[in-house]
Chain A
Amino acid sequence: EAGVAQSPRYKIIEKRQSVAFWCNPISGHATLYWYQQILGQGPKLLIQFQNNGVVDDSQLPKDRFSAERLKGVDSTLKIQPAKLEDSAVYLCASSFSRGGLSTGELFFGEGSRLTVL
């Protein structure tokens, strides 16, 4: 079974530029998450999708971050404009759902490492 795919693996940009990350979850997983992991910290949830609807985006800095999952499968996370403090690994995860709720067993991709100069 293929795992969660993310791209690009690495991205270096200058502050105020924009960047987009792509995620393809495990086939059949209705729930998709984007997490931000700053060096030396645990992952922090940015946004959670159930199919193509947003379940939780309370910790997403909406003035610069946006995410979509238009057809309920792939997802993109965009940052515009980027700040120095956005340097982090952006992890995508997916999980199977029962009765419309995530089972809570998350499968993570390898992450996209962003460096903002």
Chain B
Amino acid sequence: TQLLEQSPQFLSIQEGENLTVYCNSSSVFSSLQWYRQEPGEGPVLLVTVVTGGEVKKLKRLTFQFGDARKDSSLHITAAQPGDTGLYLCAGAPGGTSYGKLTFGQGTILTVHP
């Protein structure tokens, strides 16, 4: 069974601060996705990283896939209250199981104005 551990589980910061969320596993994934989920809604895909060492930027969000494709990080620069939510990483085993995602337990981010 492939497991993904996210840290920290909770993050409470002030507007304008920077933060990093980590997603670690002992298993190799063919790709890794990051989702954001707001209360009462389903997760929304933010990014997919597929190559070891890959870095993707989405405005103030920077995503990195580890060289060995076992870990990933999400860095947010100058956080805003609108960034508040549950951030989930999810790994795909690849092959015909693509889409059978293993999710981490999530990081609850609260950004105070």
Q: Interface on A for B, CB 8 Å cutoff?
A: 4, 31, 33, 40-45, 48, 55-56, 91, 93, 95, 101-111
Contacts and interface: CB of A to CB of B under 8 A. Distances in A.
A30 to B, nearest CB: 11
A97 B38 CA distance: 27
Contacts of B100: 45, 48, 55-56
Contacts of B106: 40-42
A33 B102 CA distance: 13
B62 interface: no
Given A4-B42, A93-B42, A106 B99 contact: yes
B48 A101 contact: no
B45 A41 contact: no
Contacts of A31: 99
5 contacts: A4-B42, A43-B88, A101-B99, A106-B45, A106-B101
B96 A110 contact: no
Interface of B: 4, 31, 33, 40-45, 48, 88, 90, 92, 96-101, 103-106
A50 B41 CA distance: 24
B14 to A, nearest CB: 24
A59 B96 CA distance: 17
A93 B41 CA distance: 12
Nearest to B103: A42
Contacts of B4: 42
Nearest to B41: A110
Contact of A43 (B40, B45, B98, B103): B103
Given A42-B90, A42-B104, A106-B45, A101 B40 contact: no
B42 A108 contact: yes
B104 A104 contact: no
Nearest to B95: A101
A40 B105 contact: yes
A104 B33 contact: yes
A1 B110 CA distance: 31
B99 A104 contact: yes
Contacts of B42: 4, 91, 93, 108-111
B98 A101 contact: yes
